[in-house]
Amino acid sequence: MISLKRYQLVFATANANKISEINAILMFTPVTVVSMADIGCTDDIPETQPTIQGNAIQKAEYLHQKYQVDCFSEDSGLEIDALKGEPGVHSAYYAGNRDAQQNMNLVLTKLGRKRKRTARFRTVIALILDGKQHLFEGICEGTIRLKPSGTGGFGYDPIFQPNGFDKTFGELPAETKNRISHRAKAVQQLYDFLQVL
């Protein structure tokens, strides 16, 4: 059995927002999550796969093979039904660069006044532990607002309203988002898995 008090996992991301969000979710757990910088990794890890799951696996395998560490990575995307699943795996660079405002503007322009605005955030976590790969998926269903609302969160949060709420991810308190988000659900599965090893 793994002693979680001493168990360290490297999170394969350079995104400070994701590090903060996952550390907040795991704040009261005995799992210690460290960043790539903590192990001296400044690499720009490739994300060249055509699916969210493929990118998650690619990033974890890269870090594990180069640094021989137990690690996990995640890839997330916004899937909009009226746009046939776009932006999906291209969510971060949908408008051609990593600019959240431009990405949101492109989504809203493409959707226009369409009545069907159902969407979901999807996260896939790829864990490599003792050389074995494990996958966890979290999904948060919702709708796309006609215009942004709220300044919290990041990415598409100001235009995504999760089902069961009248506020966007950009308006909801961080503790609420960290309980219901796609990433929170995937991280919870990761934590549950580690507990039963």
Residue 5 has pLDDT above 70, yes or no: no
- The predicted pLDDT at position 191 comes to 83
The residue with tokens 């746009």 is 83
Task: Report how far residue 126's alpha carbon sits from residue 72's, in angstroms, rounded to the nearest whole number.
Answer: 5
Calculate the alpha carbon distances from 6 to 27, 30, 32, 188, 193 in Å.
Answer: 15, 8, 8, 19, 16
- Rounded Cα distance, 187 and 35, in Å: 15
Catalytic residues: 75
Res. 22: pLDDT tops 80: no
Q: Structural domain boundaries of the chain?
A: 4-195
The pLDDT tens digits for 24-73 are: 777 777 777 888 998 999 998 989 999 999 999 999 999 999 999 999 99
**Confidence label for 1 from pLDDT (cuts 50, 70 and 90):** very low
pLDDT band at 77 (very low <50, low <70, confident <90, very high): very high
d(CA 105, CA 148): 9
What is the Cβ-side half-sphere exposure of residue 162, based on CA atoms within 13 angstroms? 19
Q: Which CATH number fits domain 4-195: 3.30.360.10, 3.90.950.10, 3.40.50.970, 1.10.287.110?
A: 3.90.950.10
**What's phi and psi for 97, nearest 5 deg?**
-150, 170
Please give the average per-residue pLDDT across 101-130, as a whole number: 96
Q: Count CA atoms closer than 13 A to 46's CA, side-chain side.
A: 8
* Bond from prior residue into 46 cis (ω within 30 degrees of 0): no
In sign, the C-alpha dihedral spanning 89, 93, 99, 103 is negative
Q: What is the residue whose two structure tokens read 């966007």?
A: 168
